[in-house]
Structure 1
Amino acid sequence: MDQERDFFGHVSITRDIEKALIKGLILSQPNNYSSELAGLSQIRCPEYLLKAKKLIHEHASDEVNLDEVGRAVGVSRFKLYDDFKKYFGITPTVYLKRFRLEAVRQALLEGGCSGNITAVAMQWGFNHLGRFSSDYKKLFLEVPSKTVERSRKH
């Protein structure tokens, strides 16, 4: 702190801080250019990641091997993991689990389970039912049986 004057005395540092603050304020407050700025700030997702997501969706109810997904889209498993995290904020494993959980929830809400939650969960690749139930509750803030109960009321 004693050297604060030296630190902020550099023009390049104060200019960078000023730009960052202005950019933060402009992006955080709604304005006439918000939608245009949002479009410009989006990082274009590589095509192979979109293909990987499509493959995960198509084979979500099967045993998904991420090495095979990587090979199918032309990248290593490590690149797939790193770039999935970079562009989507989660790993492919977490993405697959969420996709499956959402598919189970949709089936439960549509009444397609006939009361057999276990069968639906296993159909979507959940073999450990205790872990399935806790993951489901963590994501949707209710146990699967409550979802079924609610769907029957509607």
Structure 2
Amino acid sequence: MTHFQDVLTVRNGQSEHHQSSLFALPSRITLRDAARKQLSIRRHFVGTLGVGQVVSTGHDTQVTEPSGLTLLLPLCGRLISRTADGTELRAENGSALIFSPNRRETRVQADKQKMFLAETLILPINELVIELERNGYSANTRQMLADFSVLTPNVNSPEATQLTSSALELYSEVLAGSPKLSTKQSQRSWTRLISARTLDLLRAAGLLDDRRDTSLPAAERHVRTATEFMRENHADITTIVDVAEACGVSLRRLETAFRSVWGQTPNDALREIRLQKARRDLVFADPEERVSRIAWNNGFNHLGRFANAYIQRFGESPSQTLRSVGN
């Protein structure tokens, strides 16, 4: 029995317009072309990794993913993605698209005889930052993670093959309902493996260096600086004013910058960082750990609000995450 759980299912030409929660922020989806429009989006979390499956007769989607690196692996059919800066990338079976946190429009196209099928894998940026720290990279390099896109045939290297092979193996394990994925050891191992493989690919693609891009628009610079500060101080921030002061800008300018870049508020971004870090702590916690302690350590002062936000984001309660993962 598969580990995948339904996120969105559309059958037999229901309404063309839908909304999906596969990514951190809701994605707008418009079904297209086929007389009998069908769409299935499923997801399962392996620790902090979000593994997804998309089956479709064809659709367009607008995606905003501010907190995770996204790997898209078409298994049948093709997809065309255009990022906010106008970069257009195409992928089909045998290739993969990898995006840093970004906003993008994607067209999904099915083959004439078969439906579109793809794996999605979302790696929280926090996990990649931890891997960078293990490898001795500087804070300047970590900020470079905010802006890149990779098409694997353009990076024809063993590192690209290793990442896509590992992602497909994990997908197969989720699809088959492998009981090994329920253990803490397995989830740690998969998280480290995908993080390490991703870092290897970025290094091979020449995307990791210590140069800071000072040519970015002011709004993007403010958002990058604020996000870095929130990741490093998420548990100690009292209000977003603390973030604005750390960035040397007014609260209004910071809020305007986040809405311009991500279409969300700084509070939304901080909550997502805290939720991702809390989930990581719950996944890798000792059995005797308490949810309340983990919530408090990640900046959540109200346990009920934390539980509600956690359920909405991950589809299960914090206590379920803590209990469902064995040693």
**TM above 0.5, one fold?**
yes
- 1:124 counterpart (285, 294, 298): 298
Unpaired segments of 5 or more residues in structure 2? Answer: 1-59, 62-77, 88-102, 104-215
Say which SS state the counterpart of residue 289 (structure 2) adopts. coil
User: For residue 288 of structure 2, what is the aligned residue in structure 1?
Assistant: 114
How many residue pairs align between the two structures? 123
1:60·1:124 contact (CA, 8 Å) conserved in 2? Answer: yes
User: For residue 70 of structure 1, what is the aligned residue in structure 2?
Assistant: 244
Cα distance, 1:66 vs structure 2: 1.9
What TM-score, normalized to structure 2? 0.34
Say which SS state the counterpart of residue 83 (structure 2) adopts. helix
Question: Whose helix fraction is larger, Structure 1's or Structure 2's?
Answer: 1
Distance change in 2, residues 1:85/1:127 (3 Å): same
Question: Whose strand fraction is larger, Structure 1's or Structure 2's?
Answer: 2
Greater radius of gyration (CA) = 1
| Inter-partner Cα distance in structure 1 for 2:261 and 2:244 | 16
| Inter-partner Cα distance in structure 2 for 1:115 and 1:74 | 38
| In the alignment, structure 1 residue 151 sits paired with structure 2 residue 325 | yes
Cα distance, 1:138 vs structure 2: 0.9
What TM-score, normalized to structure 1? 0.68
Cα distance, 1:51 vs structure 2: 0.6
Unpaired segments of 5 or more residues in structure 1? Answer: 1-27
* Amino acid in structure 2 at the alignment position of 1:38: T
| In the alignment, structure 1 residue 55 sits paired with structure 2 residue 229 | yes
Say which SS state the counterpart of residue 61 (structure 1) adopts. coil
Over the aligned positions, Cα root-mean-square deviation in angstroms equals: 2.6
Task: Give the percent of matched residue pairs that are identical in Structure 1 and Structure 2.
Answer: 28
1:113·1:119 contact (CA, 8 Å) conserved in 2? Answer: no
- 2:256 counterpart (68, 72, 82): 82
| Inter-partner Cα distance in structure 2 for 1:104 and 1:51 | 22
| Inter-partner Cα distance in structure 1 for 2:322 and 2:286 | 10
| In the alignment, structure 1 residue 92 sits paired with structure 2 residue 266 | yes
Cα distance, 1:122 vs structure 2: 0.7
Say which SS state the counterpart of residue 125 (structure 1) adopts. coil
